Structure 1
């Protein structure tokens, strides 16, 4: 990769969702201008879920490669298989093949490391236990789950990370099934931001593996939903003991 004389060797890391959210917040041209000054862009959880993202990301990464930006990405899908089972991927072969051409594939197989050899996540707690824990844990937040979902609908997903900064534990009461796909996708973004920051989640209500309907888990966004379940379950495991500590007064 050619280096630009005098250009700072900037590097950037973000998830695929954060990248698309950045375009939504800054606009396409400003995003290209901002990221073109970097030497390396690392993208986690790279996935194509709809035609809009396919065209957007294909064009964006093409512009960045032309500007000399090196790319690295992780994905649960091989580059040539991106978009399969989510939309009419055959209609976007040019874009998908163009994306694939930017990468050399290194395949790593194995089970989800977040749950390898670890005990099952604890069962949901009572509302009283979660509320008590929130009052005893410094820096903990306390939210009613439906109210949190409503709040997320009024905040741009690119700002979810800032919402999580400084929070030591998330306490949720009344966790229940997600009513619709738009709400579900917003929760996926929040789960990613909490997981990035290793914020434990203590909750009452239904277990996290019951958040998404069978239709959602069999649909085009299923990988996102299974990732959210996996990550929230890991964070619930990290929160094990917080309720006990609060009840003991320690």
Structure 2
């Protein structure tokens, strides 16, 4: 549970705040202080002594045990979260970084009690893309974080909504809000305003390539995958999302033919997870068919999961720009048809 490869080298010093968004510079300042206090936090029986146990000007008394980075997609929340992980003065084995989905998968693999015991020895737990998509996960994570706070673990999380607003626009909203009200007390929210940096000052997403260009690029790029988009979606339905990262192992580029709007919400949510794993690993995506901003229907983009879908569009667009160097069929490849398959 460490930051993904894309964020191996990020630090607070490499985060470039937008001059027009003072909240970005303020977030860096608060997080640097947060990391510094973690360095003053020593171990105690039954876990680590809690963050902010002593009185501070930021929290006062026994304030929140963590920070919550709230903002839209593309404002650098994951960059800052990973920077906090790197800046925390503790060995890697005493701090953990993972997505919300990975955290719930960890509980599924180890069981609740063993997960608590495992993470209780950590100084910091960073949770990226904090999402509560069903009441079961809400109760699970609420209970887990409460136990960890009791054991003195500091928390940091990112998402696209404030802690007490997660779950709005989704089914069983009352159940979400009832659970999240308790969770939100553990965090000091930090609002990060700004535009999606992946689009700021950059050209529009490249137009889709032709099928032939995608196939040539796959054949000429060692380690590239080549899949028909419907086949990929069907395969994702047969693989647990916790394995999507392993699905990408050894893949240098993803080449897709026949990209079209996803047919249903379950498929769309699986595609969101894959997009996150591809983005984490900086794997370019070259595709034919419809542009990525037409992957999700207007109904999906107006629904409760809209922030996930917009994040996926943003990240896939960035990966499509990365694929521009492939040129829709580079001339310097092997030409030996060595493309593999993601599916």
Of 148, 166, 179, 2:263 maps to 179
1:211 matched to which residue of 2? 295
Of 312, 322, 326, 1:238 maps to 322
Aligned partners of 1:228, 1:115: CA distance in 2, in Å?
13
Q: Gaps (5+ residues) in structure 1?
A: none
1:116-131 correspondence runs (5 A): 116-131=200-215
Q: Gaps (5+ residues) in structure 2?
A: 1-40, 49-90, 334-343
1:105 and 2:199 equivalent? no
1:29 CA displacement = 3.1
Paired residues, number: 249
Q: Deviations over 1:19-66 (max 9, x none)?
A: 223333443333333322322110111122332222121111112212
1:85 matched to which residue of 2? 169
Name whichever structure is richer in helix by fraction.
Answer: 1
TM value normalised by structure 2 = 0.68
2:286 matched to which residue of 1? 202
Q: Deviations over 1:101-137 (max 9, x none)?
A: 1111111101111111111111111111011001111
RMSD: 2.0
Please identify the structure whose Cα radius of gyration is greater: 2
Structure 1 residues 24 and 182 mapped into 2: Cα distance closer, same or farther (>3 Å)?
farther
Contact kept, 8 Å, 1:132 with 1:243, in 2: the verdict is no
1:52 and 2:174 equivalent? no
Contact kept, 8 Å, 1:139 with 1:169, in 2: the verdict is yes
Range that drifts further, 123-132 or 91-100: 91-100
TM value normalised by structure 1 = 0.92
Structure 1 residues 155 and 91 mapped into 2: Cα distance closer, same or farther (>3 Å)?
closer
1:4 CA displacement = 4.2
Higher relative contact order (CA 8 A, sep 6+): 2
- 2:238 aligns to what SS in structure 1? coil
